[in-house]
Amino acid sequence: MANASPKIHRLTLATLTSLICASAALAAQPGGVAQAQARYRQDMAVCNSGQSNQTAATCRREATNALAAAKRGGLSNPTETYQQNALQRCAVHKGDERTACEARIQDQGDINNAAQAGGLLRQSTTMVPVK
């Protein structure tokens, strides 16, 4: 893995983080412990296969910590957190501007995944009648 590009490293790390966070979200639901344990087994399989882009010891430790946190209910759903933070940023706007901001955050409009700086570019068009 020493020759892999930094982009692949980031993608692999992001994938593992998503998988661990998803296991936490499942653990918060009834029967979530069993699902968290299933996720743990999958994470450990990735660790043992050498596909984790981490040292095996680090990968195993992260998987174990994620399982423990899931059992405690200590992991949050990142999608919910991001959504709440984004809506809070709309609070600086007033009236129609705030409504439009909230609509963009709630995926009512055009979303472009190919923003040059990364992330999402959200835009909406509001038709205003001529006075």
Cα distances (angstroms) measured from residue 53 to each of 38, 45, 59, 66: 21, 13, 8, 17
The reply to whether 11 falls in a domain is: yes
- Overall domain count for the chain: 2
Please report the pLDDT score of residue 33 as a whole number: 79
Mean pLDDT value across residues 54-68:
89
Same domain, residue pair 41 and 26? yes
Q: Is residue 58 within 8 Å of 74, Cβ to Cβ?
A: no
Structural domain boundaries enclosing 84:
78-123
**Residue 50 pLDDT more than 60?**
yes
Same domain, residue pair 35 and 89? no
Same domain, residue pair 82 and 32? no
DSSP string over 53-88: SS-HHHHHHHHHHHHHHHHHT----HHHHHHHHHHH
Q: Is residue 115 within 8 Å of 100, Cβ to Cβ?
A: no
Same domain, residue pair 67 and 92? no
Q: Is residue 72 within 8 Å of 24, Cβ to Cβ?
A: no
Q: Helices marked H in the chain — which ranges?
A: 6-27, 32-49, 56-72, 78-89, 95-105
Same domain, residue pair 87 and 61? no
**Residue 1 pLDDT more than 50?**
no
Rounded to two decimals, the pTM is 0.39
What rounded mean pLDDT belongs to the chain? 75
Q: What is the pLDDT of residues 95-120, one digit of tens each?
A: 988 888 888 878 776 666 554 556 66
Same domain, residue pair 63 and 84? no
Name the nearest CA neighbour of 54 among 92, 103, 4: 4
Q: In this predicted model, which residue has the larger pLDDT, 24 or 55?
A: 55
Strands 110-112 and 121-123: antiparallel
Cα distances (angstroms) measured from residue 68 to each of 12, 17, 19, 104, 122: 22, 15, 15, 36, 37
Q: In this predicted model, which residue has the larger pLDDT, 87 or 22?
A: 87
Same domain, residue pair 104 and 65? no
